[in-house]
Amino acid sequence: MRQKLSYTTISMLILSSLVLLLVTGCGPRSQPTKEEKMAVREIMEIRKTAIQTRDIELYKQAIFPGYSDLGVDFNGIIADMQEKFDNYEKIEFTYQRSTVDMDMNSARMVGQITYKTPDMERPVYSQERTIFRRVDGKWMISAGIETGLF
């Protein structure tokens, strides 16, 4: 024999399901705005400017203090770039703009990067999967920078 559920029981089940979805974060996500995507791309522009002007303080502003990737932390990524600044009078850095994938307070950008110095016969190319984190409304690079390329 089959029992019918009351409207109150059905309503409580639906409400409970919605609360569970909200608590676990499995509900529908809002699409990132153009402004949010532009804020992530702006960090890459800051990185580019810092490299091309050899400005380590500006470079630090683009990097998350908790940076961690394959055993390289914030101090390691800064030291790697400072070494390049010390060894080369001019560094050209370019990156191919790619799609920004965002999820609340994290973002990913995959694209071709290029380094070139006057001493190089050919530029150094690499594909980089840059990871960004938003902390207190500010985007920073938290992982994915290729090190030791030149």
- The three-class DSSP label of residue 8 is helix
Q: Is pLDDT at 36 greater than 60 in this prediction?
A: yes
Q: What structural domains does the chain harbor?
A: 35-143 (3.10.450.50)
E strand or H helix that includes residue 72? strand 72-73
pLDDT at 8: 72
| Reported pTM | 0.77
- The three-class DSSP label of residue 92 is strand
Residue 50 and residue 59 in contact, taking contact as beta carbons nearer than 8 Å: yes
Phi, psi of 118 (to 5 degrees): -60, -25
- The three-class DSSP label of residue 147 is coil
**131 - beta bridge partners?**
108, 143
Q: What is the pLDDT of residues 88-101, one digit of tens each?
A: 999 999 998 778 89
pLDDT at 106: 95
Q: What is the pLDDT of residues 115-141, one digit of tens each?
A: 999 999 999 999 999 999 999 999 999
pLDDT at 27: 45
pLDDT-derived band at 145, boundaries 50, 70, 90: very high
